[in-house]
Structure 1
Amino acid sequence: MEKPLAPAATRAAADPPLSDRFVGIGCALLAIAIWGGWIVSTRHAVHGHLPPATVGWLRFIVPATVLAPAWIRVGLWPKSGLVPFVLCFFGAGGIFFLVVANAMRFVPAADVGPLLPGTMPLIVAAISVLFLRERLGRLRALGFLCIALGVLTLGGRGLLFPEDGAWRGHLLLLSGAAMWAGYTLAFRRTGMKATEIVGLVGLWSTLILTPYGLPGVIDAVSSGYGMEVLVQLLIQGLLSGVVALVAFGIAIERLGSSRAAAFTGLVPALAALIAVPVLGEHPDAAAMIGVAATGVGVALASGAFGAPRASR
Structure 2
Amino acid sequence: MDKPVSPAAGKARIAAAPFFSDRAVGIACALLAVSIWGGWIVSTRHAVHGHLPPQTVGWLRFVVPALVLAPAWWRVGFYPRRALVPFLFSFLGAGAIFFLVVGNAMRFVPAADVGPLLPGTMPLIVAAISVLFLRERLGWLRGAGFACIALGVLTLGGRGILFPEDGAWRGHLLLVTGAAMWAGNTIAFRRTGMRPTELVGLIGLWSIIILTPTGLPGVIHAVSDGYGREVLLQLVMQGLLSGVVALVAFIMAIERLGPSRAAAFTGLVPALAALIAVPVLGEHPDMPALIGVAATGIGVALASGAFSPASKAG
The residue number in structure 2 matching 1:225 is: 227
Q: Tell me if the contact between 2:42 and 2:276 (Cα under 8 Å) persists in the aligned partners.
A: no
Q: Tell me if the contact between 2:29 and 2:253 (Cα under 8 Å) persists in the aligned partners.
A: yes
Q: Tell me if the contact between 1:100 and 1:173 (Cα under 8 Å) persists in the aligned partners.
A: yes
Q: Match of 2:260, as an amino acid?
A: S
Superposition pairs of residues 65-104 of structure 1, within 5 angstroms: 65-104=67-106
Among 170, 187, 190, which residue is 2:189 paired with? Answer: 187
Q: Tell me if the contact between 1:63 and 1:238 (Cα under 8 Å) persists in the aligned partners.
A: yes
The alignment partner of 2:223 has SS state of helix
User: 1:19-45 CA distances to partner (integer Å, 9 max, x unpaired)?
Assistant: 111000000000000000000100111
Superposition pairs of residues 233-312 of structure 1, within 5 angstroms: 233-307=235-309
Q: Match of 1:279, as an amino acid?
A: L
2-structure distance, mates of 1:175, 1:65: 29
Among 28, 31, 42, which residue is 1:29 paired with? Answer: 31
The residue number in structure 2 matching 1:49 is: 51
The alignment partner of 1:72 has SS state of helix
Q: Match of 1:133, as an amino acid?
A: R
Question: What's the CA shift for 1:79?
Answer: 1.1
Question: What's the CA shift for 1:285?
Answer: 1.8
2-structure distance, mates of 1:134, 1:282: 39
Among 149, 152, 166, which residue is 1:150 paired with? Answer: 152
Q: Which runs of 5+ in 1 are unaligned?
A: 1-11
The alignment partner of 2:80 has SS state of coil
TM-score, normalised to structure 2's length?
0.92
2-structure distance, mates of 1:243, 1:294: 24
**Measured at CA, do residues 277 and 226 of structure 1 come closer, stay the same or move farther in structure 2, by a change above 3 Å?**
closer
Further displaced range: 216-225 or 234-243: 216-225
2-structure distance, mates of 1:96, 1:29: 22
Among 197, 200, 216, which residue is 1:198 paired with? Answer: 200
Further displaced range: 275-284 or 200-209: 275-284
2-structure distance, mates of 1:183, 1:309: 22
* CA RMSD in angstroms, aligned pairs only: 1.5
Question: What's the CA shift for 1:309?
Answer: 6.2
The residue number in structure 2 matching 1:170 is: 172
**Measured at CA, do residues 309 and 33 of structure 1 come closer, stay the same or move farther in structure 2, by a change above 3 Å?**
closer
The alignment partner of 1:17 has SS state of helix
Among 112, 115, 118, which residue is 1:116 paired with? Answer: 118
Q: Match of 2:207, as an amino acid?
A: S
1-structure distance, mates of 2:48, 2:277: 18
Q: Match of 2:262, as an amino acid?
A: A
2-structure distance, mates of 1:52, 1:163: 21
Question: What's the CA shift for 1:275?
Answer: 2.4
TM-score, normalised to structure 1's length?
0.93
1:138 partnered with 2:134: no
Q: How many residues align?
A: 297
2-structure distance, mates of 1:120, 1:239: 21
Moved over 4 A (4+): none
> Percent identical across equivalent pairs?
81
Question: What's the CA shift for 1:17?
Answer: 1.4
User: 1:105-124 CA distances to partner (integer Å, 9 max, x unpaired)?
Assistant: 00111110000000000000
User: 1:29-62 CA distances to partner (integer Å, 9 max, x unpaired)?
Assistant: 0000000000010011111111111110000000
